[in-house]
Copies of this chain bind each other. A is one copy, B any other.
Amino acid sequence: MRRKRYAAVGVALAAATVALTAIPAYAQDEPAPTIEDVQATADHAIQSGNLLWIVIGALLVIFMQAGFALVETGFCRAKHAAHVVSTNFAIFGLGFIGFFMIGFPLMFGGYSYVLPGFDYGLTEAPGGALLGSGNWVFLWEGGWAGTWFDSSKPALAGAAAGFFLYMVAFMDTVATIPTGSMAERWKWKSFVVWGLFCGAIFYPLFGAWTWGGGWLAKLGNSMDLGNGYVDFAGSGVVHAVGGVAALAGAIVLGPRIGKFAKDGTPRALPGHHIPMAFLGTFILLFGWFGFNAASTFASSDPQFAVVAVNTAIAGAFGSIICMFYVWFRSGKPDPAMMANGMLAGLVAITAPCAFVDPWAAAVIGSIAGVLVVEAVYFWERKAKIDDPVGAISVHGVCGTFGVLCVGLFANGKYGVDASGPGIGWNGTTTSVKDGVAEGVTGIFYGGNGVGQFLAQLAGAVVIWTVILGIAFAFFKVQSMVTKGGIRSDEDDEVAGLDLPEMGLLAYPEFGVGGGYGSGEVVPTKVSAADKEPVG
């Protein structure tokens, strides 16, 4: 009966004229339903709702690309605006192609998993033999609708598609983070290689070790560390990984011309469009609900609403506590910091969002709102690293903080028997009491909290050593093998990357100049005397 129902409701518009005949026939001639028929319909309703939530979540995360583009462009200078916004646009497709061709099977193909809620009694998981098999190429050789499509289980293609779409959107967030810290001085052709590399190789590595079921996820079973490394929606897997890549890239590129005086004193190079940056922040807030709340993979799990509220709480407290803190610290409620304060709260709550009480979300967001201010000052004033938009602080530092928060604030109430009776989060079977697998629990809530914290710490250390090292090596090697390195020509940087790199100006008609409202014409090539930009 499900099949029939599916045909009836699945008709697309063009077919609707005839559905008239089909549906009443169904209604009239169908024999009395059996309980198995009705159960199949009810199960199908649950599964459809889950898949819908995954796909809507994916759309929201994809829309976040617009948010990143606006925040980064708004915080950069007008003479580079077309370049910055173009990197944030092209990264979507570049990372996508890398992940589509190589990254997705690399991240999930080595391990078996079932697409959430859409099981048809498979004896083998569809992804079971992806790695190193003919199924490696399932995405582009025949595809889901090819290898897997079977008229008796049409849902399988849809579920695999929804899962891929959600995952590719997360990957693109990682890929776009370094476009912020490396803005205003990155050669276009070098950037293009990064986009492909990130989607194909860089992101899937830590991803496979955690969400792909790898060794970090298994720290619970292998070393009795709580439920292994737990990262609900990616403070670490996405944000900290992107943040350390942003750090590596900023180090390899070096600071922008004029950022530091000869004595090392940093100069402000203010963003050219504050309303644009705030619009981007709002779009990120909007999309973040898809990022976090749809990570339940199920609208049938009401915890997604708790996740949404925790996300909102952390963002709200992050923005306001940051605003007060920077007001107190610097004398003004700096709008740029305010925006980063909200993003800091959102990044930090991303790992623990499903596991913590609302008060903890408020505390986590508040701490992140302070932390991001101090981190921005640290990288700029102490480490002398130039990060035009604060990406290292927001994603790297606050993402790492969020990873650790799981090991501190997780209340033990979510994830009880998450994977079956006596089997917990990450398939952990070592944290069981009276036959019930413990929920994810942090130090403040007892249980195996210390073990959980150590698992989180292990993940954080891996990100700041192995993953940072890979990113650094990538940019360093790329810089050596690229003629002239990965950094733009000095003349181009001073004049603005828009004309030399992209062939047009972001604002050919506005009076964009070297300084506050100078209204000077932007030159394509500048004399040596112009090389010191004002800030």
Which chain A residues numbered 347 to 403 have a C-beta less than 8 Å away from chain B? Answer: 354, 356-359, 362
Contact partner of A14 (CB less than 8 A), chosen from B11, B140, B293, B425, is: B425
Q: Are the CB atoms of B323 and A62 closer together than 8 Å?
A: no
- The 8 A CB mask of A132-150 against B (1 = contact, 0 = none) is 0000000111111110010
Contacts of A424 in B (CB 8 A): 15
**CB of A471 within 8 Å of the partner chain:** no
Q: Are the CB atoms of A22 and B312 closer together than 8 Å?
A: no
- Determine the interface band of chain A, counting residues with CB < 8 A from chain B: 35 or more
Contact partner of A517 (CB less than 8 A), chosen from B19, B417, B509, is: B509
Contacts of A65 in B (CB 8 A): 282
Contacts of A444 in B (CB 8 A): none
Contact partner of A323 (CB less than 8 A), chosen from B55, B90, B100, B303, is: B90
**CB of A175 within 8 Å of the partner chain:** no
A339-B89 in contact given A161-B308, A517-B509 (Cβ < 8 Å): yes
Which chain A residues numbered 480 to 524 have a C-beta less than 8 Å away from chain B? Answer: 501-513, 515-522
Q: How far, in whole Å, are A62 and B240 apart by their CA atoms in the complex?
A: 26
Q: Are the CB atoms of B165 and A312 closer together than 8 Å?
A: yes
Query: What does DSSP make chain A's interface, helix, strand, loop or mixed?
Result: helix
* Interface hub of A17, A39, A295 (most chain B Cβ within 10 A): A17
Contacts of A21 in B (CB 8 A): 419-420, 423
Q: Which residue of B lies closest to A535 (CB)?
A: B508
User: How many subunits of this chain does the assembly comprise?
Assistant: 3
> How close is A62's CB to chain B, nearest CB, in angstroms?
7
A154-B303 in contact given A86-B335, A274-B85 (Cβ < 8 Å): yes
Contacts of A297 in B (CB 8 A): 9-13, 16
Q: How far, in whole Å, are A300 and B522 apart by their CA atoms in the complex?
A: 55
> How close is A80's CB to chain B, nearest CB, in angstroms?
11
Q: Are the CB atoms of B300 and A45 closer together than 8 Å?
A: yes
Contact partner of A316 (CB less than 8 A), chosen from B24, B97, B270, B285, is: B97
Q: Are the CB atoms of B116 and A304 closer together than 8 Å?
A: no
Contacts of A317 in B (CB 8 A): 93, 97
Q: How far, in whole Å, are A303 and B55 apart by their CA atoms in the complex?
A: 11
Q: Are the CB atoms of A320 and B94 closer together than 8 Å?
A: yes
Which 10 residue pairs spanning A and B have beta carbons closest together? A158-B302, A10-B301, A332-B503, A18-B427, A511-B511, A22-B420, A66-B282, A18-B419, A143-B358, A17-B213
Listed by A's residue number, 28 A-B pairs whose Cβ atoms lie within 8 Å are A10-B296, A12-B232, A12-B295, A14-B230, A20-B114, A22-B423, A25-B420, A46-B48, A48-B302, A52-B304, A63-B285, A89-B319, A89-B339, A90-B338, A93-B315, A93-B320, A94-B320, A100-B358, A145-B358, A157-B303, A162-B302, A270-B504, A272-B510, A273-B507, A332-B502, A332-B504, A334-B504, A513-B517
